[in-house]
Structure 1
């Protein structure tokens, strides 16, 4: 079990709960959140996130990560201080 603020992440069942209430995440949203959580406190480039969540290893230009970050912010109620956009570098989940 992992924890981030008021979220609990159960990797054995691939579930996320907020204050005990389950939050429905798609497989990709869940994988993206885990990648951010594993690199908490560090900037994650879009390519790193594409590799971790989607297993895409070739550098590509896509807005997919940006769209999924917006979904995560909304579903997990993460503000800009929790999940930061770092211009021209990527995203960082605060530690």
Structure 2
């Protein structure tokens, strides 16, 4: 999938794209890892998984969202405007 930012094309995997879209649709809302897994991956969250953390790191880097995706300790993540 492709996203354009400031005229620059950024290639994302399907999952990265779906996660980015879900974060954008829920801007300024804290989203738990459980909710992200259910909404993006489509299954119930089981135990400790670093999958979400890895995908969030990829989006921060690829989309230059280091300052926009906030980690909310023990809760999840929030995309800020």
Runs of 4+ in 1 over 4 A off after TM superposition: none
Task: Provide TM-score, normalisation by structure 1.
Answer: 0.79
Q: How many residues align?
A: 80
Q: Aligned-residue CA RMSD in angstroms?
A: 1.1
Aligned counterpart, 1:7:
none
Task: Provide TM-score, normalisation by structure 2.
Answer: 0.91
CA distance in 2, matches of 1:32, 1:17: 16
Aligned counterpart, 1:93:
79
Structure 1 gaps, min length 5: 1-13
**Whose helix proportion is higher, 1 or 2?**
2
Aligned counterpart, 1:82:
68
1:31 to partner: Cα distance: 0.6
- Which of 11, 17, 21 is the matching residue for 2:8? 21
Structure 2 gaps, min length 5: none
- Which of 25, 42, 51 is the matching residue for 1:64? 51
Mapped contact 1:72–1:78 kept (Cα < 8 A): yes
- Counterparts in 2 of 1:36-75, with a 5 A limit? 36-56=23-43, 58-61=44-47, 62-75=49-62
